[in-house]
Amino acid sequence: MNYRHGFHAGNFADVVKHAILARILVYLSTKPAAFRVLDTHAGAGLYDLESDEATRGGEWQAGIARLRQAQLDPAAVAMLAPYLAAIDAVNVSGVRRFYPGSPLIARALLRRQDRLTACELEPNAAAALSEELRGDTGVKAIAIDGWTALKAYLPPKERRGLVVIDPPFEDPDEFARLADALAMAHRKWPTGIMLVWYPIKRRADADRFVQQMRQAGLRDALNVDFSIGEVRVDARLVACGLVVINPPWTLEGELETLLPALAAALGQGSGGFQIERLAGQK
């Protein structure tokens, strides 16, 4: 799978991933101690929804645009507020042309004492990311391979924080590489929160990865499976998953409010969601 994010920015998968990312960051901000966010595959940072790539893909129209138009209950509105505020922060005068990637959403939700390390290796995306984050105190863009970053920057000196892992899934062995990298990262930082996104194009591949997570000896982990249609290898992406290692104690309950609202807003008739605890107890 070649996941060039300019084509997919703001799609249903981004909405789910970034809404959950925002909830984790809100939780981390409830304690005064500083925290670190390490984003291993940060991308370009900001995406123009009127660009040629976004226009050709048009996936944002079934993602963030659909969410903006949805009638949501007050509890879901409150859950989504930090995420939507981060989107508004990169737009002006009410025009919603730009969509922020995970490093810009994280930046919007950091406090003065918190830190962000955003990593990207692809030269064009790395240059764009560096420009977007230039001059921000406590925020650093580094042109480095994301898998190398996991070895180099964990554990952080802050001792609290989040690792965001959203690889491009361009290589056929990406799931195996992801499982190995997660095991290594968890050994280096067993108390760190880790948010891992993965596409579901072949159910067998995703199921195999989730089974590896069940058998990885994790103390606490959740898996979210979200779809807006029937999974078919020859069709566009309609399902994705997220594994959260060491989830905040509040997250599972929040997902029980958030995911039904997102499924209703983004679903296209045959989609749905599942929350599965891979380790630990609620």
* 120 vs 166: CA distance, rounded Å: 11
Please give the Cα distance from 178 to 74 (Å, whole number).
37
Can you list the positions of beta strands (E) in the chain? 36-39, 46-48, 98-100, 115-119, 139-142, 161-165, 193-199, 221-227, 239-245, 272-279
Q: How far apart are CA 221 and CA 137, in angstroms?
A: 32
Per DSSP, what are the bridge partners of residue 272? 227
Cα separation of 154 and 83, whole Å? 26
Candidate list 14, 39, 114, 166, residue with the active-site label: 166
217 near 186, Cβ under 8 Å? Answer: no
Which neighbouring-strand residues pair with 96? none
Q: Is 180 a catalytic residue?
A: no
Return the active site residues.
Answer: 166
